[in-house]
Amino acid sequence: MPDCITDMQYKYNREERKREYQIFLASTYWKNVRNSRLELDELRCKYCGSSKQLQAHHVLYPQDWYQTTTDHLITLCRTCHEKQHGINGKSKKEKRKRVKRWRQWKKEQSPEWQHKKKYGCTQEQRVSFLKQVFSSKKEPDPF
């Protein structure tokens, strides 16, 4: 069995791994390995050299968190760590666009939106129109 797993294997069981990871981060073992890595990197970010808000970043993910060694980690400042994970790498404008697209997609999944797309009106308007058509012999009023 390999010592480290690929990104695809890692994503497969993401939720369970997240729970395990949160427990691991609270362990004394993690704190000791993390502190050892920070000391090995002389309390400096390996990307920008900052000494503020230092964090340990997993370069390789072991199958069992408790097999983590200093070789699996690198020291990064908070800003570089966020960029590494793609958290801080995008502008607020890009994030707003992505959220807007997601909300539009979510809206399009609703039955009301699907109905309006198909018939050009809300379901209530269509029902009202059809009632007019079938209840009288007169020409119904369009919306």
Domain ranges of the chain: 7-84, 92-135
Q: Give 56's strand partners.
A: 75
Q: Count CB neighbours of 75 within 10 A.
A: 25
pLDDT tens across the length of the chain (143 residues): 344 555 555 555 677 778 888 899 999 999 999 999 999 999 999 999 999 999 999 888 888 889 999 999 999 998 888 888 777 655 666 767 777 877 777 777 777 777 777 777 777 888 888 888 777 666 656 65
Global pTM exceeds 0.85: no
